[in-house]
Structures are given as structure tokens and as C-alpha cells.
Amino acid sequence: MSGEVSLGIPEMPAPDYPADVRARLENDAREVIARYPGSRSALLPLLHLVQSEEGYVTRTGIRFCAEVLDLTTAEVTAVATFYTMYRRKPSGEYQVGVCTNTLCAVMGGDAIFEELQQHLGIGNDETTADGKVTLEHIECNAACDFAPVVMVNWEFFDNQTPESAKAMVDDLIAGREVRPTRGAPLCGYRQTARILAGFPDEREGAVEAGGGAGPASLAGLKLHRGEVAAARVVPPRAEPAGTDVTEEDGE
């Protein structure tokens, strides 16, 4: 026996980026930090920045954020592990998220998620062997008007069915063009992370693309503005049989 026991504890400290990568990221980080009155406020976009480098938030990325913001790695890790948009392990070029919250679930989201798992041969938060697709269930895509909804790298695919969702992931894996039902064109997950870090979206037509809320979500706002007449939420309740309602009754 060697007498050497592995406890599964990562080697400390984390390795640094290669010098050229570090210099490039430092330039980007200075641009991000300059947007905020306090440097600590730049942590969220900086986590997206390091995620754009390797496709997930590595120990090296956490070390980098801590050093440029004068934080501890524990402080950075606490934030990186709190938000689900930060990947903690290698993931696919396309992050496919199926909403399984209440409305999407009853409209077919659960069925879509189950069939995609079988179709792709992977479970929740797992990636296909070719590195193309990572599948996960999402609690809410904030698009209930269009349920059931699937997102790919945070772009919307509305009113999905198991068949349309399977066809979509097949196209992603095959490298065929896939267009969201609304919003900007698709790009890879690393490029998406860089855009979320606050850098310009240089995809043709991306800035002009629309992807707003649906009419049901906007009904309250339009009513407040006086743009539409108030509508009954439920039909009038029928009076019980044999009830004789007169004007004298005040009804």
C-alpha cells in the first residue's frame, strides 16, 4: 500500500491563467469594474466573463475574480454557487433548459423534459458525449404566456411539444441553423456568457431582435395606461334555479 489517501480536496491554491489569457482578462475586467461605483458590484459580470473563457466557473476563474476585486475566494465562491446561471462543471455548447414550473409543467413541460432525457440519453444537468448539449430543468423561464417554454443559451423557444423539442436538439447536435421563436439569434454558450458580462453583442440583427412579454403579461400595464377596457376575469355566476331576481332586490 502506498499510504497515500485522497480526500477529494482540490489542490490549493488554484492555478493561474496563462500570462496572455490573464492579461486579456485583466483588460476586460478593468472595463467592467469601471462601470460601477464600488468594485465589489462587478462580481456578477466578472463571473460571466471568466465563464466565457472556459465554459464554466473554474477554480482559476474564482481566483481571478477574487484577486481583481480584492475579495477572498470564499466570498466569490459563495456567489458563484448561489446563482444557477453560473456553471460549476464543464457543460455543452448549448444549454437547453426546460421549464418545469407549475404552468409549463401542466402544459407539457414535464413530458418534454422526460422525453429529452430519453432522446439524448442523459439526465438533469448532464451533457451529451459530443459536448454539444447540456440538459437541465429550470424552475421558471418567466414566459408563462408561451408555455411550455424551452430556452437554449437563454433564448426563447415558445409553445414547445416533445416532438418540436427533440427536433430542435437534433438540429443543434447536427450543426444546423436553429432560430428562437423570439429574441436574438443563437450563439454558443461561451459567447452568451461574454454578452451577459456586458460586452457588445456583435451578432447581426441581435440588438434589433424583439423578444418581449406576451399579451396576458402586459394586460395589467395596458389597463393602467387606459389602453384597453377592463375585461371580466370570469364569466358572470349563474343564479340558482328558481331564484327570482328583481330590481327591488338591488341586483
Neighbours of 26 (CB within 10 A): 14
Q: Are strands 155-157 and 150-152 parallel, antiparallel or unpaired?
A: antiparallel
Look up residue 70 and give its amino acid.
D
Neighbours of 11 (CB within 10 A): 7
144 confidence band (pLDDT: 50, 70, 90):
confident
Specify the higher pLDDT residue, 163 or 235.
Answer: 163
Tell me what the mean pLDDT of segment 92-97 comes to. Answer: 95
Q: Which of 15-24, 158-167, 176-185 has the lowest mean pLDDT?
A: 176-185
- pTM greater than 0.85: no
Backbone angles phi, psi at 21, to 5 degrees: -65, -45
Long-range CB contacts (within 8 A, 24+) of 227-231: none
CB 59 within 8 A of CB 90: no
12 confidence band (pLDDT: 50, 70, 90):
low
Neighbours of 157 (CB within 10 A): 26
201-221: per-residue pLDDT in tens? 877 777 666 667 777 777 777
Q: Are strands 133-138 and 155-157 parallel, antiparallel or unpaired?
A: unpaired
Which residues touch 51 (CB under 8 Å, ≥6 apart)? 57, 61, 86, 87, 190, 193
Which residues touch 94 (CB under 8 Å, ≥6 apart)? 132, 133, 134, 152, 153, 169, 172, 186, 188, 189
Distances (CA, A) of 115 to 123, 124, 149, 233: 11, 12, 15, 35
In whole numbers, what is the pLDDT of the chain averaged over residues? Answer: 86
pLDDT for residue 204:
74
